[in-house]
Every structure is written in C-alpha cells, then in structure tokens.
Amino acid sequence: TASDDGTVCLWDVACRHRAKVVNEDVVFRHRVDRDLRMSYLESQAPETTPVAEHTSPDGRFVLKINKDNTVRVYAISSGEPVTPPLAHHGEITYAAFSPDGRRVVTTSTDQTARVWSAKSGAPIGPLLKHASTIWFADFHPDGRRLVTAGDDNMACLWDIVSGKMLVPPFKHNGTVVQARFSPDGRRVATASFDQTARVWDAESGQTLTPPLQHPWPVRQVRFSADGRSLLPTGPAGAVWSWDLPLTDSAVEDLVRLAQLLTGSRLDEHRDVVPLARDELKDLWRILRQTRGDFFHFSADYVMAWHRQTAEECARGGHWSAALWHLDKLIEQGPDHWLYHARRGSVQAEMGHWKQAGADFAEVVRRAPQEPEAWCLYAALLLREGDLTGYRHACTELVKLYQPETQASERIAYLIAWTGVLAADPGVPAERLVELAKQAVERAPDDPDYLCTLGAALFRAGDLASAVRRLNQARELHGRRPCAREWLWLALVQQRMGALKEARQWLAKATIALAAPDTAVLPWIQRLQLDLLRRQAEQLFK
C-alpha cells in the first residue's frame, strides 16, 4: 500500500474468515479526532485528486490529465502527444488504459464516462451516463466491458461498444467511489461512502456478499491477486482484509447447512417454510456425521468473529452486546491496548464511568505514546473529580508534543482541548493559547479550532479576544445550535460581569442540551458539554 504519509508498506494479508484491520491504531486515532470535533463532517467527495499520470501496460505511453477538462496520450520516449485532446464538459476525475493498452477510459464531473482509442483518440461507443459525477471506471480483463462508479450511489456495468447496461445497477446508500473487477472478471467489488463494500456477480448483477460494514467511508477497494480476499481502504489509511472463501462442498451439504442456520426451507413454490424440531435434529445429525468441519473453528477465526461483531454491535448502539464481545477479546488478549480502548468507549457510552476510566488507565499504561488515549483518560478523570490525575494526564500530553513532527498540529489541538476543560490543568494557560493558535493557523475557518482557542484565551484572562473567537466559531455554525460555544460564552460573560448576557447564553445552551440530538452525540462530546454546563451553573449558585 502507498500513503500520503510518504511510506510504502508490504503487508501479509493472510486470509481471515472475518475482516481484519491491518493498522487498527490509525483507526483509533481517526475515531477520536472525529468524536472530539462537533463540526466533524465526512467529505462528500473523494479526498484523492484525479490521477495526473497513468502509464500504459507496456510502459511506452502515458496519460496526462489537464486542467482544461482534457486528457492526452503521450509517447514516453519522445514526449510528443499521440492523440488529440480527449475532451469532457467538466473536470476529469479519472483516466486509465485498458489491460491491453489499446483503449483509454475517462470519467468526469459532467456525469459521463467515455472510452477512446489510445492510438487515434477516436471515441469508441457512446457516452456512458450517470445521474451525477462519475468518479472511477475499471475495464473488464477482456477489455470489452467497463464498470463505472458514481455520485448517484450506483456502479454500472456496460458493454463498451453498444453503450448498453448489462445488468441492473449495483446500488449503495451513498456515493460509490470505486468499482473494480476481480482478476477473473467474474465479480465486481464496490466501495461506498455508506461505510460498506460489496461484491457482485458480474454476469447476473446479483449480490454475492452482504454489505461489508466498516467504521468509516470506504475510499478504495480491490481484490487480492488470487481473488480470494477483498481489501477496502478508509480515509485514515486503514486497510481491512475480507476473506472471500471458495469451497468444494457439495451443493446438498450447503443447502442443509443453510436450512439448519435459518430453521427453514424453500418449498416447490419457493415459499419459506419453517422446519419442525425433528427435521432440525436430522439436519444436525447428518451434518455432524458427514461435515464435521462445518462446526470447528480456529482460535484466530473466533477472535476475528468477536472483533467484527463487537464493531457491528457498537455501530448499531448495541452496547451490552459489544461489551460482551470485547470482554472475550480481552480475556484472550489482555495486553492488547486497543481492546481496552474500545471497551472503555463502550463503557462510557453506557454511563459506566468508573469502568471506562479503569480501561483507559490500562490503555495509557500499555500505550503511553498515544495522545488520544491521554486526552480521553483526562476527561474521565475530571468527571470523577480526580484533579490530581487530570493534571498528571495533561502534563503527560504536553511531553508528547514535538513541534517538528508531522503530528504536531494534531497533538497541539489535543493538549489545548484537554487543558481548557478545567481552570487549573497543570499547564500554563498561555501555553494552551500558543498550542490552540497553531491549529487555527492551519485551518482558520474550523469552528472546533476557533472554539478551543477562544476557551484557551478565556482561561488566560484575555476575555475580549475570547469573545471574538467564540463568536467566530458560533457564526460558522450558521443557524444550527452550538451549545458548546454558548456555554463558553456564558462563562466568559460571567467573568466580564455581564450577568444578564451570561444567563441568556446558559439558557440557550440548556435548551439545546435537552434536545434529542444531544443524546446521540459521541460520549466524549456529551461529557465535554456536561463538564462545561456544571461549571457554568456553579457560577450562578
């Protein structure tokens, strides 16, 4: 895999019966960043820019995407253009050669894809149209078919020459950013912003898998070289590996297994008929005798099942079930700090604050280099009234700050966010202001950064500047409620002696906090708001 962090990594993607995250720590950091930030919104367009160059399979030619909505084929040896400009009416989002190098495909924001001769630049077949931007296209290994992925939540499979859609569209509940054929061309994989990847039959258009759920929008997807694994990638660079097992089992055995698992069968009219208890016993007995391998699983399989099911339960808000699976994971892997982090978050979602704090104490003990873990742990300590522990966590956070590193801005924001939660974090308020300013300099229109800077200025006693920054953050929210900014403004106005204005901001925040939307916020946001509300209310008692 290649990343914009400047690294190229070679992974051993041994097959798993369930998805395995290759770099789970990246997912953890990405989630904490998302959950801390109230204005966090996933981009509604792919993060990657259009591929600027793409070399032909024989290495003799290169595609170049130009800013005037055209693509041209150039000879590498001479640098001379081989084709005239291949033009669209909108920005070109992707361009690639066919497997034999004889054709070129282009996709565009003008809602079309087109195939061209790589030799003459002449169009081959009609325009292939979606109802919105097309982000990607992939040639079938035979070069005669094409699959496109679009902003209209669909991927489409086309005959290139006729322009005919060969099967019903492959539909998702969000933008489809990629669609790729398997190495043998018999299957299509799709990646979507609805946080799923799917595999489809290229001949019938039928789904071959359920939606494969991920904790983030899926940005890319591809099959392994042998076609037995699916490798989706998320926005933080995390790669999951899904096993796509082949089986030599007899159809009769698979039908029996399906009947046993569902407790039903299809009658001659293809209606679902429940099975009687004796029928289920017979199926169990036959399969145990003839296919005992159906009922034996490796320890790796069981752990992978617990990991995936815990993820699915947490995503659906089934906290008790997620907790049970995470308990099992920790029993088998007590030294795995990410299991403790996941369980700590689930405990916090359930309101089990002491248990959450105990889990994050274990996280920072086993992974003291993770600033996100110290940030969450500090907030939990503050909630429990452990000011000494909170100050220690803030001090440890500051130790992790290294100005010249790539992550310096992120850690600066985490320190500032954590430090402003209390009046005395053990870190000078002026230092928090310096760190918060770094984030604002990078993203001056980010309401989370502006709010944190305003809070730091308040802690430092610069009340006028605090009001200005908090109002900037508030205005960026537009008409949406912004209880966090209102609570900070209540604190600032009270310090300035403007008690009437302070009570008004607190009243607005109290109404917003009682709204149903607040209950579905991530636990760390709810905790932050609760801590601020308590401080504001205390001032008026």
What is the DSSP secondary-structure string of 182-236?
-TTSSEEEEEETTSEEEEEETTT--BSS--EE-SS---EEEE-TTSSEEEEE-TT
> Please, what is the angle between helix 523-539 and helix 24-36, to 10°?
30
The tens digit of pLDDT for each residue in 124-134 reads 999 999 999 99
Instruction: Count CA within 13 A, CB hemisphere, residue 339.
Output: 19
195 and 154 Cβ atoms separated by less than 8 Å? no
Residue 52's pLDDT band (cuts 50, 70, 90):
very low
Q: For residue 278, what are the contacts with CB-CB under 8 A and spacing of at least 6?
A: none
Cβ contacts of 236 within 8 Å, gap of 6 or more = 26, 27, 29, 30, 216
The model's confidence at residue 45, banded by pLDDT at 50, 70 and 90, is very low
d(Cα 53, Cα 44) in Å, to the nearest integer? Answer: 24
Alpha-carbon span 254 to 510, nearest angstrom: 57
Give the Å distances, CA to CA, from 436 to 88, 296, 396: 44, 54, 17
Please say whether the beta carbons of 432 and 413 come within 8 A: no
Cross-strand partners of 73: 63
CB within 8 Å of 4: residues ≥ 6 apart: none
Pairing outcome for strands 112-117 and 145-150 = unpaired
State the Cα torsion 433-438-440-443 to the nearest 10°.
Answer: -170
59-109 confidence digits (pLDDT tens): 899 999 998 999 999 998 888 999 999 999 999 999 999 999 999 999 999
Domains annotated on the chain, with CATH? 20-243 (2.130.10.10), 251-290 (no CATH), 368-539 (1.25.40.10)
Which among 145, 106, 141 has a CA at the least distance from the CA of 127?
Answer: 106
> Which pTM does this prediction carry?
0.65
Residues in the chain: 541
Other Cβ atoms within 10 Å of 452 Cβ, number: 33
pLDDT higher than threshold 50 for residue 444: yes
The phi, psi pair for 217, rounded to 5°, reads -60, 135
Query: Which of helix, strand or coil describes residue 174?
Result: coil
CA proximity to 61, closest of 52, 51, 72: 72
228-232, 271-275, 407-411 — which is least confidently predicted?
407-411
Beta bridge partners of 113: 107, 128
Percent of the chain at pLDDT > 90 equals: 66
How many CA atoms lie less than 13 Å away from 71 in the CB half-sphere? 37
Rg from Cα positions in the chain: 28
User: How far does Cα 18 stand from its chain's mean position?
Assistant: 18
Q: How far is CA 421 from CA 382, 470, 473, 487, 536, in A?
A: 8, 15, 17, 12, 12
Q: Region 238-267: what's the mean pLDDT?
A: 84
Q: Is residue 116 within a helix (H) or strand (E), and if so which, with residue range?
A: strand 112-117
Could you say which DSSP state residue 93 is in? E
Q: What is the pLDDT of residues 216-249, one digit of tens each?
A: 889 999 999 889 899 998 876 678 888 887 777 7
Which of 450, 532, 433, 445 has the alpha carbon at shortest distance from 488? Answer: 532
- State how far the Cα of 2 lies from the Cα of 15, in Å rounded to an integer: 21
- Residue 493 corresponds to which tokens in the numbers above? 């106005």
For the segment 358-402, what is each residue's pLDDT rounded down to a tens digit?
A: 999 999 999 999 999 999 999 999 999 999 999 999 999 999 988
Instruction: Cite the DSSP H helix spans in 420-462.
Output: 429-442, 447-460
Tokens of 287: 């399969």
pLDDT, one tens digit per residue, over 129-173 is 999 999 999 999 999 999 999 999 999 999 999 999 999 999 999
User: If you average pLDDT over residues 5-27, what whole number do you get?
Assistant: 48
User: Of 280, 329, 279, whose CA–CA distance to 308 is shortest?
Assistant: 329
